[in-house]
Amino acid sequence: MYQIVSKESLNPTVTKMEILAPFVAKKALPGQFIILRVDENGERIPLTVADYDREKGTVTIIFQIVGAATEMLDHKKAGEFIPDFVGPLGRPTHLEGLKKVCVVGGGVGCAIAMPVAKALKAQGCEVTSIIGFRNKDLVILEEEFKAASDKFYMMTDDGSYGRQGNVCVPLNEMLESGERFDEVITIGPLIMMKFVCAATKPYGVKTIASMNPIMIDGTGMCGGCRLTVGGKMKFACVDGPEFDGHEIDFDEAMSRSRTYAEFEAKERETACNLFKKEVE
């Protein structure tokens, strides 16, 4: 059993939890993920390692409440336990030799981008961070990104906080002015990553995209995270989750990611109604 050491609501739909998992914390690296179950009969949920503390033996996860399983997880309190917390899984982000990097995060994807920016900063890399949200109410991890960045840009779609516009606005401005990076690392909604990769491609800037958002089972057996990279079939959970963004077929990935959207919405509604009855 794994204890929930702390729990914090980052915005109305995103929750941060610190889990006591010494063996996972000992080996975890930026870019990797874990698989957990909320109860013994629950589904497996892959979640990225948002942070880790090797001395305390804890791993931080940040998740968005989108389905039944995450709804159930969000109802857990600090001090309670979950039965399974397996990892670290997946290939860690390649950081060696990078001197100047732009990290682009969107929405809850910022939880995946933040440890990458933090690790780059720790190794002496010049880090530019661009993070984007729909509005001010959904902003997360702002101070953490500022601490890990030499340059920082906050973007909101409606202009309610930071600059108005999407993450490609400052990225395009920098590229057009002649600024170059060893790599651009982007993590967020598929449509956002697609346009980030489209922005960097004409300039020949290597761009790494995390396909964590399409993972389901986390072992490669379910086939849910199958995608096409460079004309070849890959699995985000075992071959990634990070790939050369210029080789990813984003249109195919986005089409497949919507397959179970209606089912997930119904399952979450069922879970919500169940918790309401328990409270009543």
| pLDDT above 60 (res 276) | no
The pLDDT score that the predictor gives to residue 7 is: 94
Instruction: Give the Cα separation of 236 and 244 in Å (integer).
Output: 12
Domain boundaries, the chain: 2-89, 100-257
The pLDDT score that the predictor gives to residue 233 is: 86
**What share of the chain in percent tops pLDDT 70?**
86
| pLDDT above 90 (res 172) | yes
Q: Are 72 and 45 in contact (CB under 8 A)?
A: no
Instruction: Give the Cα separation of 181 and 69 in Å (integer).
Output: 39
The pLDDT score that the predictor gives to residue 185 is: 95
- Mean residue pLDDT of the chain comes to 86
Alpha helices in the chain (DSSP H): 22-27, 68-74, 110-122, 142-147, 168-176, 190-200, 236-239, 250-257, 261-279
Compute the average pLDDT of residues 54-64.
93
Among 151, 4, 162, CA closest to 77: 4
The sheet with strand 100-106 has its strands ordered as: 163-164, 151-156, 126-133, 100-106, 183-187, 207-210, 242-244
Q: Is the peptide bond before 46 cis (omega within 30 degrees of 0)?
A: no
CATH topology of domain 2-89: Elongation Factor Tu (Ef-tu); domain 3 (2.40.30)
> Which structure tokens are listed for 195?
């346009």
DSSP per-residue string spanning 90-130: SPPP--TT--EEEEEEEGGGHHHHHHHHHHHHHTT-EEEEE
| pLDDT above 60 (res 167) | yes
**What share of the chain in percent tops pLDDT 90?**
53
Q: Are 252 and 270 in contact (CB under 8 A)?
A: no
- Express each pLDDT in 180-212 by its tens digit: 999 999 999 999 999 999 999 999 999 999 887
- Report which listed range, 21-25, 31-35, 222-226, 229-233, is most confident: 21-25
Q: How far is CA 7 from CA 14, 17, 76, 156, 246, in A?
A: 11, 5, 9, 26, 37
Please give the model's pTM, rounded to 2 decimal places. Answer: 0.82
- Please tell me the class of the 100-257 domain: alpha beta
DSSP per-residue string spanning 174-188: HHHTT---SEEEEES
